[in-house]
Structure formats: C-alpha cells, structure tokens
Structure 1
Amino acid sequence: MSHRVQVVTKHVLAPAPVASKEFAVYESGTHFGVTPDYEHKWPFPEAGPLAEKSAPPMCFPMMLEQACQRVGKEFALAAEKPVPHVLRPGEAPSLPWEEWSKWTWKDYYEDSRKLAKAFMHFGVEQFGSVTIFGFNAPEWALSAMAAMMCGGKFVGIYSTDTAEQVQYKVDHSNAAVMVVDSHAEFAATVAYIEELTCLNAIFCWGTFEPAVLKRKDGSECKVMSFKEALQLGESQGSDEALAQRMQAMRPGHAMGIIYTSGTTGQPKAVMIHHDSAVAQGAIGTLDNTGVLDGYPARIISYLPLSHIAGSLMDLLFPVYMAYTKNLHSTVYFARPYDLKEMTLAARLQFVRPTIFLGVPRVYEKMQARMMAVASTITGIKKSLATWAKGKGLEYCRNLQAGGSRSKPFMHTIADKLVLSKAREALGLDQCRIFIAGAAPISRETLEYFGQLGMMIQNVYGMSESAGIATLCHKDFNEFGSVGQAPEGLEVKLFKTGEKGENIEVPRCAPGLKVVPEENQGEICFRGRHIMAGYMANPRFGEEHVKDITEKNASTIDQYGWLHSGDKGYMDTNGVVRITGRYKELIIGAGGENIAPVPVEEAIKKSAPALSNVMMVGDNRKYNVALVTLTAEGATGELPGTDKLAGVALEVNPAVKTISEAIKDPIWQKYIQDAINVANNDPNVCISNAWKIQKFAIVPRDFSIQTGEFTPSLKLKRSVAEATWKDLIDPLF
C-alpha cells in the first residue's frame, strides 16, 4: 500500500519567470516523495543536453544489458583475490595482471541476473532493499546492479559504521538480504539479528562460516557464500519473474539509497532515482569523455561506494558510458587497506588510471609525501626541479579561466625532464581527467598538482543532488571556485524573505577579493538530478513519516529548488564560490556571521606542517583554533601515531613527536606566525571578529576512527569540539 503525504512547503516563491529552453518549467507543488514505492516526476527542458530527446530516461539494468551487447567481451571489473598481505610498512606491490580476478561486461550482466534471482528467492520485493557492507569489490558492484534488476534499491553501509548504525540502516531500509565481506562485517550485523526481523539471508563474499541464524521468534536468517548465492539464482531463480520486475521498473523509481553521514541524529535516506543518475551521466560525459579520445577508461575504485561520489564514478558512470558512447571502462578495485597502510600508490602505479577521483584529503596526503621527498633533494637537482615547477606553475595559471592558455618558453623541456617524471612516479602519467570533490580543496593544493601538469577539476554537489551540481570545466577552470552549473541544470543563490520567500541575490563582478554580503546567499539547484526525496519507513510510525516529510519540505521547495545549506556567491560568468555553511557559521560576540573555512585554509597555507585547523568561537567572546600536526600513519581513516612526519620534521629538527612539539617554543612560534598572517590579511579576516586569538595543539590527528571525520572525510565540528572540550575551554 502506498503512503504518500502531501505538504505545504516552507519556501514560497513568486511566479516563475520565463525560462530558457534549456531549463525546465516547474509548477508549484510537491517535488518529492517519502515512501519506498514513490515514482518521481520531473519536467524536461525543451532543448539542450538534458532534454528528453538528448538524454532519454532509462533504468540502469537496461543500460547494462545494452552495454553487454556492445562491449561484452571487454573487461568491466578486476580485483586481486585473495587480497595479498602487506610485505613491509608502506610496501604492497600489485600482483601480475594474470593473477587478478576479472569480469567481462558479459560476466557482469549475467552474474547480476543470477544474483537478482537469488535476492528474489530470499524475499527482496519490488521497491525493497539490499544492504551491502564491505570495502569496494566486484561483488559490491554486482550486488548493487542485482538489487536494481529485481526492482529494489542498493543500500551501502560504511565500513566505519558501528553495529548500532548497521542495525538502523538495515532495519530502516527494509532489507531482506544483506551482502557482506567477511568476519568483521558479519559480526556487526548479527549483533542485532534479533531486531532485524526483515532480514532473511546474508551472503558473504569473503571468508565465512555457513550457518542458519535462528531468532527467538522462530524466524531464520540463512548465511551462505556469494558463490552459493549465484548458483542458487541460476538453478532455482525464475527468469520470467525477473523479467516482470524489470518491466515494472520506471526511471523515476529509486534505485539506491545513500545514507547521509550527519553529525547529529539518525542519518537521512536519500533516494537516488534512475533518471537522476542518467542526468549525472549526461553531465559527466558531455564535458569529459572527449578527453579520452575514444580510448577505454581505467578507474581505480577506493573511495566508499556507499558515498554518492564513489557510486557515481565506479558503478554508474561506466555503465552509462558503455551504453551511450560504446566506451568501455575497466574498474580496478584497490585493496581494503590501501588508504590505511598508505599503499594506494602501488595500485595507481599498476593501474595507470585515465580518470582519477580524489577527495581533498587524498590529494593533500599525496602532496605532503611529495613535498617531503622534494625537501631531501639538493644541489643541481633541486635547482632543476624548482625551475621546472616554476614553468609548470606559469602554464597552469595560463590555463585558468581568462588566461592566455599559452605554454611558457621551455615548458616542454621542463615537462619532459622533471614534471612528467613526477606524474609517472605517482602512477598518474596516463590520467586525462583529475577530479576533486566531497569537501573543500585549497587553491594551494590545486596549484601544486597543476604545476606538475595535473589540472584538477573541482566539482560540487551533495547526495541530495545525486552528485554534481556545479563543476570546473576543463576549458573554464577557476581554482578556488566550484565552477559553473552544467548545461541544463539551474543554480541560483537566494536569501529568505520575511515571509519565507526566496529572494534571488544579484551576481557580483568576477575577481572580487571581498564580496559584499548583499551578493551572498544560499546556493540552490534544480533539475533532473535532484533526489526523489528522503525515504521514510511507514513501519516506524506516523511521527517518523511526518518528521521525514518535514525534512523534505525544508530541503526541496514548492518550485523544485534544492536548498543546499551552503553559503556563497556567483559572479557574472556564472562561477560559484562557497564562503561557508550556514550550520557551520560562527556567530561572533557582536552577532557577526563568520565563515571558518577561509581562515583555516589560510593558516594551513602558511604552515604546511599542520594537518588540520579547526576554528572555534560560536557563542564565545573570541575565536580560538585547534591544530593537528602531520604525523606518521595519519591517513584520515586512522589518527596515526605520536611521531611527526614529512615537512613537520623540518619545523624543529630536534623535535620528533607531537608530544614534544606541544611544549616546543619553535613550534609555538611557527603556528602563531601562520595565524598572524591570516589575521592580518583583510581578504581572509574582514574584521577583528574573524581573527583567532589563541590556539592549542591536539595530541593526535583527526580521523574517521576517532569520530572527528565523516566517512567521506568531512570535519564533524560538533564532535571534534565535544571531544577536545578540555583543550578548548582553558583558551577562553
């Protein structure tokens, strides 16, 4: 039975203006749903790349079927199985290609069908769910596609989720089947097996022990291997029943759920519908596939597939490219420990990806290691490297929007002698497309890689927009911005009027150092890519459904505008820059709205030995900062050790640990000097209220494991502030 709720949203808009033919016309109404069976509807633009004729709505299982027919013999998925052990710290060379396990596109399609029939055998219904818990693997991709094939949704669980979080997501998504990697994921699941009464089976693709889990109420949960599940689907599954499920599928149905990693309360279940991913595929391929010159794409999968960025890049884009461009991709799966053990470089050097997606933290770690190596070079080699990087930086800046795009004299020689060697050492010498997303990335990091010939395209979006909302185009890349809206998608900035109405803020001139407040507002977007809504589970009761409905209404207004919660401005070129997040703004003693990120980034720019800077000052009489230092083993997932690493060892060569640095006057001066630079820069601290008065060194780095980072490596400010309360309070 369908439980649909109609609401009046909080945002009231004036009548919509006459729109360009490349923008759809939205009527006033409710543009979201809350139940698992909701079919999303959207208006199409009349022309442009997202018009119905240009990018017809499709369901992804049908695309995979077509991809199988077009590029079926090519390799789609590859992984090292079993995963080899680390030989020594930081050393884990890849296996020879002949020892990798591989799936062709035909294998991918056929195994997904077998698995879909096994899911149906164990009770996955139309509009049901399959939860997937484990590090990226071919089995993850197969399970996601199989969940779609049987008319359901794939639901990723982060490897860092606690047993309680696992229990909530499995229960809330009504998962009848769960697919897990190995012992750790299995243990976290069965810890709450009594409460998971909807769960009928667990398929394990790693090591496991066969079992039948019996609950006190007499119900059972079957545990079997992934291989057995495929065999069961092939021998007992019904092709006719599967065909009926696929025929009943619509592009507006949800195909996946991305649980947002909020800092408070239970995560919200973002419903990604098939067409939102079609729109993302059209956006991504329009701007970038030509760069590949028709050659196959090589992608390394290492960012969580339970996050929208990883699922788009590794699961959905390859299928879309094979279907629309006859361009096959091979997704190579990294090892589960590659980020933790800092051995991702070995996989990059083997795969030689042609497309690389990294969150800022990954790029920053690469930069820190390269800078540490560079600091050991002396003499003629150092002079040559400095000269070459200078030529690279000049060319990089010429390639920025408005630049001459000309190569400086001797750049070709500099690239051949030095810059190309750096790209080769990273394993990124054949990469044509570099992408950064999921969190803010500093201009300094973008220029560092840009000088080496790696022009990173920054993208901005959120789970609720199924990924990309703006991007820096390859031909109009402006460092420090999040780029422009792709063709066919709308982006506007609004302030909220006295009656709750949206008031569009005017665009400002390009290149302003300080942007007036009247040109800043909330970044909002609209188009085919917007989510179907946050899903509610009717089993959880009327109050739950009402709560989720209200959250939807405060996020998507009556004309379809998704309100991001991010503050920023747009110039007359359509380039968007983010100045803060409304929920993260620090309210100063005088009522000032202070955006902490620009101040934090300015400090890190002057003090590269710092790993993280977090500004604290909300409802306080002034601002202070917590800083963490670059340390051995600090990967973002793990906090690392007490030992300093990289450029941090150069601040005071006599100091080797964080514990010593906390008491060291040279370190204190190093940090204070960087804070003074930021405080005295009027483009960073626009008034005294923005300045940082005191700081404290945290005895370890922030990490996912210790709770300060989300699984996508965003800073959880409230958690960090609570964790380090004893360090913060004495500063006031």
Structure 2
Amino acid sequence: MTDTQTLIENRPPSVATLFLERVAATPDAEAYRYPVPPESGEGPDGWQSLTWAAAAERVNAIAAGLMDLGIRPEERVAISANTSVDWILTDLGILCAGAATTTVYPSTNADETAFILADSGSRVLIAEDAKQLAKARERRAELPDLAHVVVMDGAAATDADGDGWVLSLDELVKRGSAYLEQHPTAVTDAVAAITKDQLATLIYTSGTTGRPKGVRLPQDCWAYMARAIDAIGLLDENDVQYLWLPLAHVFGKVLTAGHITVGHVTAVDGRVDKIIENLPVVRPTYMAAVPRIFEKVYNGVAAKARAGGGAKYKIFLWAAGVAREYAKAAQNSMRLTGAPTVPMGLRTKHAVADKLVYAKIREAFGGRLRACVSGSAALAPEIGYFFSGAGIHILEGYGLTESSAASFVNPGESYRTGTVGKALPGLEVRIAEDGEILLRGPGIMQGYHGLPEKTAEVLESDGWFHTGDIGELSPDGFLKITDRKKDLIKTSGGKYIAPAEVEGQFKAVCPFVSNVLVVGGGRNFCTALLALDEPTLLTWAAEHGLEGRSYAEIVATDQARELIDGYVQRLNEGLQRWQQIRAFRLLPRDLDVEHGDLTPSLKLKRPVVEREFAPLIEEMYAGAREA
C-alpha cells in the first residue's frame, strides 16, 4: 500500500476528529488571520491572529452551547452569514457537537431561506446580523422546528419575542463554557461517538428553476476530502491561504477541511470588494477563486494599459501574446519531456515583458503567490495561459456539490491549462457512451434530502454518480470539460455547439465583456447577449466623448456597438461557420446575483436570462434569412 493510500484509507470518521488531532499536534501554531476594525488597535495591518488552541476553545464552547440548547447528533443547525472566521468556528462547533450544518447564502431571500430552514428541519439558525434574523422572524410561524436563532452580531440579537428565541453568539459561548464546567468531556465524547455515515452537511444547490435540492454530505465526505487534499501535496504547513469564497458553497467549505489536515495559515475575509486591498497585506502563497475574479483582473490590467496611452497598450498586448506563447511552450515541453524548457528567443522576450508587465501583476497579488486554484465554472484557456506566462499559476479543478467540490485538480508543476487536471486519489471516473462524466468514491453524496426519486436519477445503486457534464479523459488521466450535458445547443441545421466554449473564447478576446450568453438552440444560427464590465466601459467612454453618461446610456450608443462588433468579428474568425455569432445585443445592465441572473457562486442561470431578455433574443432572429 502506498503512503497516499494509507493516508486516505486510514482516515478518521469525521473532520471533527481531524480538528482535535490538529489542535493536539500544533496548539500554539497560527491557524487563522482575520480583519479587525482599525479603531481596535489589535494586530498588525488591522489583522488579528488565532492559534489552533484558541480556536479550539471557542469551537468547544459553541459545541457545548448547542448541546445545552438541546441539539443532538445529526440535527441540523443552519448558518446564514458571509465568510468570516466566526463562520468557520461555528461550523466546527456544529460538527464537534455531532450535529449537521445547513448552509444558507446570506443573499438568499426570505422565502427561499424559510424553505431551506423548513426542508432541512434546522433546529437552530446562526444568523450574521439583524438582516438575517429578520428573514427568520418574518417566517417564524412557518418554522415550528426552529427552536432558536443565534446572532453573530451581538448588538442585533434583540429578543423582541421575549421568549428566549433569540440569543447572541457570545451568549451561546457563555452557555457552552458553563455546560463544560458541568460536563468537561461532553465535546470529546460527542466527537468520539461520530460515525462516518452520519450527516455532516446539507448544502442546497442553486437551481435555475424550481426549489433548490439539499445535498446530503456525510462526515466521511469531508474526512476523505481533507486527507485527499493533503495527499496531493499542493500545500504544506508553511503556506498562507487567502480565503474569501462563500462558505455556504461547497468550494469554500472543502478548503476549510483541507486547511485542518495540512495545518497552514488561513487568512479569512469574505468581503469581495476588499480582495485587491487585502492581497498585498496578507501576501498569500495560495488562493482559490472563481474564473470571474481572474477575468476582472485581466480586464482591469488591460484597461489600465489602454488608459496609459497607445504605446502602453501596445506593450501590454505584446506582453500578453508573449505570456501565452511562453506558457504553451513550457506546458508542452513539460508534457513531452518532464521539464518546462522554452526556446532562447522566447525566454529573452519573456524576460523583457516580465520587467514591463508581469512583475507588477504578481506584486498586486502580494508577490508570493505560488498557485491559485480555479473552480466552480470554466476558465477561458487564453486567460489561463496569460496568467501562467505571467507567473500566476492557475490550477483549474472540477467538482460538484454532489461530489464535495474537489474531484479533479491540476498537479502543481505539470498542470495543463484548459484541463481540470487529474482525479483525486481514491476517486473512480469513467466516461459514458454519450460523453457524460461518471464519478464514484468517498466524496459522493448520500443523495438529495427527502427526494429519493431525484436521487435515483443521478446516483446508481452501485455508487456511480452522473455529473451531467460532458468531458474527455486523456490517456494519462487529465480531464477536459467540454460542456454541461443539458446546455449543449443543437441548431435547426443539426449542428451541436458547446456555448461555454464560445463564451470562454469571447472573454479572452474582448477585455470589455463581463458576462456573455450564447443562444442558438433550435435556431438556424447563433446569437449572443453581452453584458459589459462597467468600470472598464466607463473609462473607455470618457476617452471617446461619452463622459458623464450612465452604463445603460453608453451601451445604447453606436460607438459602443461598433467597439464590441470588432471583437465579435475577431471571435468569429476562429470559429466554425455554425458556431459564429451572427448577431448580438448589449444588455442595459450587467448580470448579477441580486437580479437572479447568476447563482451565488456566479454561475450563469441560462433559462432565467433567456426569459428576462426574450424580446432582445426574438429581435435578433426576427426576419433573419436562413444560415
């Protein structure tokens, strides 16, 4: 048996066990960093540190506090809050009590929040603030199982009902500390009693239609993921991870499991608008993100170069081309010879471009970044190659909520842009006759909560899970995702098109685009709905006599349409005739979570967008000639 097999097969039954092992092994080591208000005067650069021992003290008190409230093994405790160190510690407290966490995005409206709380049978809700408390209070009559709401923001924890239904997180911790004085082994006993098949987490998928489904992930899923992440060796105890991803999403959640096993430092701040500000302060060596972040950085760098004048923009375009050429050459030689060798002439150009462009990009990320992991959606390969050549190594991964997030990830030095890497150790994969990716292993869900028929549609009796994604597996095990099975477009001429592939190519070609949706199912040619990046567009507008106009006013102008038409034509040059975009419309606003166009993990809700902008789509096809 290999060391990797031993590490995974001898895993404990739960992450709670792994957490106690980590605390025992390195109690005084730094576990977390988190931002504190400037007026507090605590910690350098406005950040405070927490050791594993200090984290365990709070986790144990939260676990004991939940026990004192009557929470028992596998009973659900929901968390509705933005990413923070308290989110992580509360989740660990729930797990160490033997209970199960129901995750709720704080952006979820009151109606859907009530549905998730009711469907999951959650007994306690941990709410971030008054806004999250109000959602539960508004629907209290519909939530007979919800015995308490615990509010992280103590000032917002008003017991207006006068019956103890609401308490603050600090009050819960005090109750837990008192409980431990009476029952000192309560938490360690609860952790010791956890079995691998016990429910650990209910994560509700963001459905594009209908109610979301609760994905049941048992304790063993997270223990396996933690050990598998450790086994692939991407991280070690000296790393500093910057964690901003929503912890209600499985991608963020799996990172907390890996962190416990490896034992590195995690800096936590869920405020997306603080990412650029935080990176030079935290100076992470590792960060996970969704493609939209890298697209925004790329567009921002391009826009800054354009604003610097024609000469600077030409230098940027030249450097971007060199970066892609360099990355492709290095990755090809790595695949063929095992070493990233690059021709001398290209190395010389790359060295010049590095001084002019790449070094500044790396510095913006903190200057120490060894690798980024990108997941949740496809990253346009040309953007991946750009960052790779610039020294920001983006390792694409792949997984679903139903597979505990991490199923595939690119290996550190021998990663291949455009693929999602190799299967994690312990995971089986096969490609069905129609190209669908099937998975089987310890990270696969138990099923959908209370939905046996829906479960049977995707999970076979022998454990094979149907992902709904189409992919290709190379002889040496690298997986390439080509599209969602249900998202493939078939034109009226019988041609199949993968819209995500075309959309990704356009994002690499056009630095102004924010979101793009290709349409063409049952039609005789393809069209596109395009939303532009507002800051980049406003900068361009100011340079072209449109200063002072709003986003909606700018996209309605002939100048904006002509600008984007040039990029569409460039895109079409590299596409097959049936893939080409024959018409497009600029949307009057960007697509976002608030309007329901994107899921909280920033995935495009195609049916929703197509319904909302149906008049624009019909306009593009009205009176069109046959392709």
Q: TM-score normalised to the size of structure 2? A: 0.90
CA contact (8 A) 1:55 1:279 kept: no
Alignment of 1:269-308 (within 5 A): 269-289=214-234, 295-308=237-250
Tell me the residue number matched to 1:359: 290
Q: 1:210 to 1:557 in 2, by over 3 A?
A: closer
SS in 2 for 1:350: helix
Q: CA deviation at 1:661?
A: 4.0
Tell me the residue number matched to 1:512: none
Alignment of 1:71-470 (within 5 A): 71-82=26-37, 97=44, 99-212=46-159, 214=161, 220=163, 222-237=165-180, 238-289=183-234, 295-313=237-255, 315-322=256-263, 329-334=264-269, 338-339=271-272, 342-377=273-308, 392-403=323-334, 405-407=340-342, 408=344, 409-410=347-348, 413-414=351-352, 417-418=355-356, 421-470=359-408
Query: In structure 1, what is the Cα distance between the partners aligned to 2:174 and 2:564?
Result: 61
Give unmatched runs, 5+ long, in structure 2: 622-627
Q: 1:99 to 1:376 in 2, by over 3 A?
A: closer
Q: CA deviation at 1:286?
A: 2.7
Tell me the residue number matched to 1:531: 445
Q: 1:210 to 1:384 in 2, by over 3 A?
A: closer
Q: 1:81 to 1:558 in 2, by over 3 A?
A: same
SS in 2 for 1:558: coil
Query: In structure 2, what is the Cα distance between the partners aligned to 1:151 and 1:343?
Result: 34
Q: CA deviation at 1:460?
A: 0.8
Deviations along 1:530-566, one digit per CA (max 9) or x if unpaired, are: 1222222xxxxxxxxxxx1111111111221111101
Q: Which moved further from structure 2: 612-621 or 263-272?
A: 612-621
Q: Which moved further from structure 2: 122-131 or 394-403?
A: 394-403
User: Does 1:730 find its partner at 2:619?
Assistant: yes
Alignment of 1:549-568 (within 5 A): 549-568=452-471
State the one-letter code of the partner of 1:169. I
CA contact (8 A) 2:331 2:416 kept: yes
Give unmatched runs, 5+ long, in structure 1: 1-45, 86-93, 323-328, 496-519, 537-547, 633-642
Q: 1:317 to 1:161 in 2, by over 3 A?
A: same
CA contact (8 A) 2:242 2:266 kept: yes
Alignment of 1:476-555 (within 5 A): 476-495=414-433, 521-536=435-450, 548-555=451-458
Q: 1:693 to 1:174 in 2, by over 3 A?
A: same
Tell me the residue number matched to 1:669: 562
SS in 2 for 1:468: coil
Pick the aligned partner of 1:595 from 498, 523, 534: 498
CA contact (8 A) 1:471 1:485 kept: yes
Q: CA deviation at 1:395?
A: 3.6
Query: In structure 2, what is the Cα distance between the partners aligned to 1:695 and 1:138?
Result: 44
Query: In structure 2, what is the Cα distance between the partners aligned to 1:659 and 1:526?
Result: 48
Query: In structure 1, what is the Cα distance between the partners aligned to 2:284 and 2:509?
Result: 32
Query: In structure 2, what is the Cα distance between the partners aligned to 1:155 and 1:453?
Result: 38
CA contact (8 A) 1:609 1:648 kept: no
* Greater percentage in helix: 2
Q: 1:253 to 1:419 in 2, by over 3 A?
A: farther
Query: In structure 2, what is the Cα distance between the partners aligned to 1:191 and 1:154?
Result: 22
Q: CA deviation at 1:297?
A: 2.2
More RCO (CA 8 Å, sep 6+): 1
CA contact (8 A) 1:396 1:453 kept: no
Q: 1:673 to 1:136 in 2, by over 3 A?
A: same
Pick the aligned partner of 1:65 from 3, 11, 20: 20
CA contact (8 A) 2:105 2:248 kept: yes
CA contact (8 A) 1:50 1:282 kept: no
State the one-letter code of the partner of 2:268. F
Pick the aligned partner of 2:487 from 559, 584, 604: 584
CA contact (8 A) 2:298 2:383 kept: yes
Deviations along 1:155-175, one digit per CA (max 9) or x if unpaired, are: 221121001111111122222
CA contact (8 A) 2:298 2:511 kept: no
Query: In structure 1, what is the Cα distance between the partners aligned to 2:584 and 2:54?
Result: 56
Deviations along 1:398-425, one digit per CA (max 9) or x if unpaired, are: 3314445125444785487345632453
Deviations along 1:543-596, one digit per CA (max 9) or x if unpaired, are: xxxxx1111111111221111101122232322222221221223224443321
SS in 2 for 1:429: coil
CA contact (8 A) 2:237 2:265 kept: no
CA contact (8 A) 1:48 1:487 kept: no
SS in 2 for 1:349: helix
Deviations along 1:677-719, one digit per CA (max 9) or x if unpaired, are: 44453xx43x53x443322110011011111100000000011
Alignment of 1:22-33 (within 5 A): none
CA contact (8 A) 2:17 2:192 kept: no
Q: CA deviation at 1:128?
A: 0.4
Deviations along 1:228-254, one digit per CA (max 9) or x if unpaired, are: 111111113433443443232112222
Question: How many pairs does the alignment contain?
Answer: 611
CA contact (8 A) 2:12 2:18 kept: no
